[in-house]
């Protein structure tokens, strides 16, 4: 049986509600910090997509492109997707596992950037 969710107030990272189960759910999944992280992640993804498309447009119309943007533009997008999926992992890594996860995400972003760079200029890589 479903029951109505009472009004929830989020103020200064403090969630106030009548039901403790709903309080825990709202604080964990819909807390103010996680919402800010998810909004920031969406902004990162949009900026990354815009910069990559501008770089491709410049390559197709003018025949030149930015190597740094080709390599690091996708890195920002991969970081944004990671932050969107795991907003609690944002910020400075505290544990060894968090540091390894951050390095793996950074590595995936660099691989995505190198693939983008290769697609833009295969001649640079000897093909």
Residues 26 and 50 in one domain: no
Residues 92 and 52 in one domain: yes
pLDDT at 80 over 70: yes
Share of the chain above pLDDT 90, in %: 55
Name the band, by pLDDT with cuts 50, 70 and 90, for residue 118.
very high
| pTM: predicted TM-score of the whole model, two decimal places | 0.71
Contact 76, 106 (CB under 8 A): no
Residues 103 and 121 in one domain: yes
Residues 94 and 55 in one domain: yes
Residues 20 and 49 in one domain: no
Residues 25 and 65 in one domain: no
Residues 26 and 46 in one domain: no
Name the band, by pLDDT with cuts 50, 70 and 90, for residue 5.
very low
Residues 25 and 46 in one domain: no
pLDDT value at position 46?
96
The average pLDDT across 20-48 equals 77
Residues 42 and 5 in one domain: no
How many domains is the chain partitioned into structurally? 2
The average pLDDT across 66-94 equals 91
Residues 73 and 51 in one domain: yes
Residue 21 structural domain: 1-30
Residues 20 and 48 in one domain: no
The average pLDDT across 62-73 equals 92
Residues 5 and 46 in one domain: no
Please, what is the average pLDDT of the chain? 82
More confident: 122 or 24: 122
Share of the chain above pLDDT 70, in %: 73
């Amino acid at each position: 049986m479903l029951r109505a969710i009472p009004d929830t107030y989020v103020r200064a990272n403090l969630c106030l509600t009548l039901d403790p189960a709903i309080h825990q759910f709202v604080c964990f999944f819909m807390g103010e910090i996680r919402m800010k992280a998810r909004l920031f992640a969406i902004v990162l993804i949009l900026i990354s997509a815009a910069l990559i498309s501008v770089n491709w447009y410049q390559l197709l119309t003018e025949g030149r492109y930015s190597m740094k943007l080709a390599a690091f533009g996708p890195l920002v997008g991969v970081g944004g997707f990671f932050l969107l999926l795991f907003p609690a992992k944002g910020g400075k890594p505290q544990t060894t596992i968090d540091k390894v996860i951050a390095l793996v995400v950074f590595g995936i972003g660099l691989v995505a950037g190198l693939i983008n760079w290769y697609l833009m200029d295969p001649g640079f890589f000897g093909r």
